[in-house]
Amino acid sequence: AVPKTTTHSVNAMCIFGAGGADGLVTPFTVFGMRVFGWKIWDNNTLVRDFVPCYRVFDLSVGLLDRVSGRFFTNAGTGAFSYDIATYDAALPAAYRQLDALVATGAQHIATGVYADSNTAVTVEFTPYDVTAQRRVFAARATAPSAATADDLFFEAYVNGSGRWACCCTDGPYDSVSDSAGLWSAGSAAPSAGTRTSLTLDSYGDAFYVNGVKQVSLARSRTQTSPAPIELMRAGGTADEYGWGKLYAAYIWQNGTLQRNFVPCYRVADGLTGLYDLVTETFFPSEGDSPFLRGTGGEVGIPHFTGVYGQSRLSANTCFWNLTNFSFTVWTKNPDVGRYGWETERYGTLFSQGALGSQPGFACFMSHNTTNGSYALTVQTRNTQNQTVSLRTGAETLRTDGRWHHVAYTYDLGAGVARLYLDGKVMDANTDPAKMVDPSLTWYIPVTLGGRSGEYSMMGELAYATLWNRAITESEVDFTRRHPVSGTEAGLIGCWSLDGGDAGLLDGVANGAAEHDLTAVAEVGFVADEVKWHVAGLMILVR
């Protein structure tokens, strides 16, 4: 109850032990304790995020810190014990724990718990979109404008002033007495990409952001919500969804833990959701789409999932003299993103330049907002801004839910360019006078899912190749039916998009240096396979 100004820096914090002034640590005597996670904040900044694990090469047991990337083993005598069969946060063998789930505005969890006068909810969440009315959790069956005497509003969200806000009141709604309890906010503002802990407590009558009280609600409550608590959505007539990464959620009733949610996926079919350790029940998304896997993927195994406007993958290298070249890539439901012009929107699948006055090439989806048409286009551009553009209609391509093979071959010397879709030539140029030299004059990296930092796509990509020659029609067909070996003549890049041994996206061909893809913004994988049934994790960028 008094200001705290003293900084103690004599000894570092110890877990399972107490440090003395002499620097020695006295262990606590602990029997039978199981640790699933340990987090430490300093000034609202997460400085340690410990995950129990063991080191593969020597089986040492300890805690992996996701913040620093350091492994902390036992500093005392002896060793921690573990059960290899149940190390996965006590999940059954049919499920595997994930670092987080990603919501993109089409997913939510129906918890089955109704809010009342003694309910508390805590959610660990990283927002990606902090525009007004994004919900983290809510229990309401009607829109605010249609509040009735039977409604209890119970929710945490982003308000119109750009603040973390809450609502916790019950009927009958009274504009005077509920002014402090309905749609209240403190000073904490959401920050896109920043992990945040939110707690709303109807019994303690308070709303907390990262452990700091924002408001005291000052309103007695006696009602029970007419609808159960939902995560990532406010139900009823105003379906306002959350957009971001969900790490954990807890729900208490009358001081008893009712839900202890762990992000996971079901091994049998790869379906993502939350596993409740209290009821031992799996909760998948009740929305239009399943949750995506978070950046951490399976605990300790990096994955990537694209969820917002600037997501893309950069190869961190460029190829300077591609006067003749080819590329191939698999795609499913490719679509435009939010960027472009008033009358046209774009979403790029594969590119090296070809933006504005930049030379190079780009394969992209386009949407004419005037007539509603969609097209798949490959544009090749020179330094004088002259272009060769081949295209085909793409209304079916973007919606049919099937994997499609896209290929493009360009031979400046022969004066021939061809665009293939599923092995068939859809458009071609055979006039040498119309060809242009796409050679780069400055560094522009090969990029999947975007173009030089802009025009990110929505949809999925898989297995991309890049060549320094125009491959033949039979070679195009080969890449539809088989993965390349990496030794084919002219092959200069091959990105399997399966995560690689260390979570990287290997772009290795013909013994060249690795051109690993770097995730820009939030990108990642969903489980799927292409037509020739090479199982893997396919990239999704949004």
pLDDT of residue 470: 97
Assess whether pLDDT exceeds 50 at residue 532.
Answer: no
Assess whether pLDDT exceeds 90 at residue 435.
Answer: yes
**For the structural domain made of 101-293, what CATH number should be given?**
2.60.120.200
For residues 210 and 196, give the distance between their C-alpha atoms in angstroms, rounded to a whole number. 6
Q: Tokens representing 536?
A: 């893997």
Amino acid present at 92? P
Contacts of 340 (CB under 8 A, 6+ apart): 346, 366, 367, 455
Q: Which helix (H) or strand (E) holds 403?
A: strand 403-411
Assess whether pLDDT exceeds 60 at residue 361.
Answer: yes
- How far is CA 457 from its chain centroid? 14
Percent of the chain scoring above 70 in pLDDT = 70
Find the mean pLDDT for residues 272-294. 87
Give 146's DSSP letter.
Answer: G
Residue the block writes with tokens 């698999």: 330
For residues 391 and 380, give the distance between their C-alpha atoms in angstroms, rounded to a whole number. 12
Q: Helix, strand, or coil here: 80?
A: coil
Assess whether pLDDT exceeds 60 at residue 283.
Answer: yes
Under a CB-based contact definition with an 8 Å cutoff, are residues 390 and 417 in contact?
Answer: yes
pLDDT of residue 518: 57
What are the pLDDT digits (tens) for 20-62? 666 565 665 555 566 667 888 887 788 888 877 766 555 677 8
Assess whether pLDDT exceeds 70 at residue 248.
Answer: yes
pLDDT: is 249 or 224 the higher one?
249
67 Rama class: left (phi>0) / alpha (psi -120 to 50) / beta: alpha
Under a CB-based contact definition with an 8 Å cutoff, are residues 372 and 427 in contact?
Answer: no
Find the mean pLDDT for residues 208-225. 76
Residue 145 — φ and ψ, nearest 5°? -70, -15
Under a CB-based contact definition with an 8 Å cutoff, are residues 475 and 358 in contact?
Answer: no
Number of Cβ atoms within 10 Å of the Cβ of 121: 27
Find the mean pLDDT for residues 256-273. 86
- Paired strand residues for 169: 153
Under a CB-based contact definition with an 8 Å cutoff, are residues 349 and 397 in contact?
Answer: no
Range list for CATH 2.60.120.200 in the chain: 101-293, 312-541
pLDDT of residue 83: 53
Among 295, 15, 251, 288, smallest CA distance to 128 is for: 295
Q: What is the mean pLDDT of the chain?
A: 76
Q: Which helix (H) or strand (E) holds 429?
A: strand 424-429
In sequence order, what DSSP letters do the residues of 1-19 get, joined into one string? ---------SS---SSEEE
For residues 310 and 523, give the distance between their C-alpha atoms in angstroms, rounded to a whole number. 9
Widest distance between CA atoms in the chain: 83
Candidate CATH numbers 2.60.120.200, 3.90.1490.10, 3.30.565.10, 3.40.228.10; the one for domain 312-541? 2.60.120.200
pLDDT of residue 154: 79
Alpha-carbon torsion angle 335, 135, 294, 207, nearest 10: 160
Find the mean pLDDT for residues 341-354. 85
Q: Which helix (H) or strand (E) holds 481?
A: helix 473-481
Residue the block writes with tokens 């009342």: 116
Cis peptide before 290 (omega within 30 of 0): no
Among 61-70, 183-192, 426-435, 485-494, name the one with the lowest average pLDDT: 61-70
Under a CB-based contact definition with an 8 Å cutoff, are residues 201 and 95 in contact?
Answer: no
Among 475, 539, 468, smallest CA distance to 506 is for: 539
Percent of the chain scoring above 90 in pLDDT = 21
